[in-house]
Amino acid sequence: MNYNEVVSIGDTYLLTVVSELFGLEGYEIQLIPAHAGGRNVVYTCVKEGADAKILRIAFLPDRSREDFLGEVEYVRYLFEHGGSVSNVISSRNANLLEEIRHNNHTFFVCLFEKAKGKMLVENNYQYREGAPITEYYYNCGKVLGKLHQISKGYMPVHRRHSFFDKYNAEYIDKLIPDSLSLLKEKLVELLNTLKGLDSNEDTFGILHFDYNDGNYSIDFDTGQITVYDFDNSCFGWYMFDLAGLWTSGVGWIQFEPDAGKRKKFMDDYFETVLAGYRSEAQIENSMLEMVPLFIKVNLLENIIDAFEVMQNNGEEPKCDEELSYLIKCLEDDIPYKGFFHEMYSCEEPFEYEERNI
């Protein structure tokens, strides 16, 4: 079943059932256009005099009821312990997750509060007037630090998967074409390095796993960030999310031709992010030394995700310029996503000549 089929079933059947389950009578329910790689059908629910909500219908067959319960229970826990997240809303049956069967297909449905404010992209990447952009960098770190600190006390009822449950040599071999044998080798090498790392409760726990400006909104009156889209959340190293913040930061300086200036900016940016993070959570310097390693792990996730999206869409695997760039970084052991390397072009950021598979 594909996205368009689910939208059609939503119009004819699902939305009526969901409205009853979650008390959405009188709400105007509008489809949010899908983004590349999106896994779900998502709607906004708006009604005068009531807070707006976000309705999510999951239809892909690769996740179980336990997976989804693991996600929404974690979101509820974060919210109840002061995390700045969009809370999950219980149905009339007092369930965080509702399961609907229709034409021999299972749909998993949940409802969330709509985060205050809007995404940076919706504000043309302009931060709030009168406030320095460093406030935003600091807040990115602070909100993430708080989520990680809360997670350290989380004891799940339904447990989300762990990093190695998904990212392992067998899965990589099955997913990635044999012609990319060097890439496969480098990915497995990276996984073996991770297996040797310490994974105590201060370094390893449940994390967002996709923390970037596409998955939170900013209240432009206060600067407050509210996080959502926890459907990739899993047990892993907290450093993964922090390294993800490093990689998102490159967008602010990606068109600068001078690699030295890019480096100076990224050092200052990440120092501010870390100051925010450390205002909420402790992190050892020994872990911070692993930022380059976890930037590579972010690239691994990006590469796996690209091949998964092609597979889910029934497409033949191919390497566009962006995927080819990521692959070259890993194959040639180029650190920091190649951002300070001669391969990087400020005219065509993070692109490299297409690879033939």
Phi, psi of 327 (to 5 degrees): -65, -45
Instruction: State pTM to two decimals.
Output: 0.96
Q: State the average pLDDT over residues 146-152.
A: 98
Q: State the average pLDDT over residues 63-73.
A: 97
Q: State the average pLDDT over residues 338-343.
A: 98
Going by pLDDT thresholds of 50, 70 and 90, the confidence category of residue 38 is: confident
Going by pLDDT thresholds of 50, 70 and 90, the confidence category of residue 198 is: confident
Q: What percent of the chain has pLDDT over 70?
A: 100
| pLDDT tens profile 171-194 | 999 999 999 999 999 999 999 999
- DSSP state for residue 337 in the 8-state scheme: G
| pLDDT tens profile 205-215 | 999 999 999 99
Q: What percent of the chain has pLDDT over 90?
A: 94
Query: Does the pLDDT value for residue 20 go beyond 80?
Result: yes
Classified as helix, coil or strand, 42 is strand
Q: State the average pLDDT over residues 242-247.
A: 98
Residue 327 near residue 183, CB atoms below 8 Å: yes
Residue 228 near residue 115, CB atoms below 8 Å: yes
Tokens of 94: 């007092």
Q: State the average pLDDT over residues 115-121.
A: 97
pLDDT of res. 115: 98
Query: Does the pLDDT value for residue 36 go beyond 80?
Result: no
Phi, psi of 237 (to 5 degrees): -80, 130
> Residue 236 forms beta bridges with which residues?
205
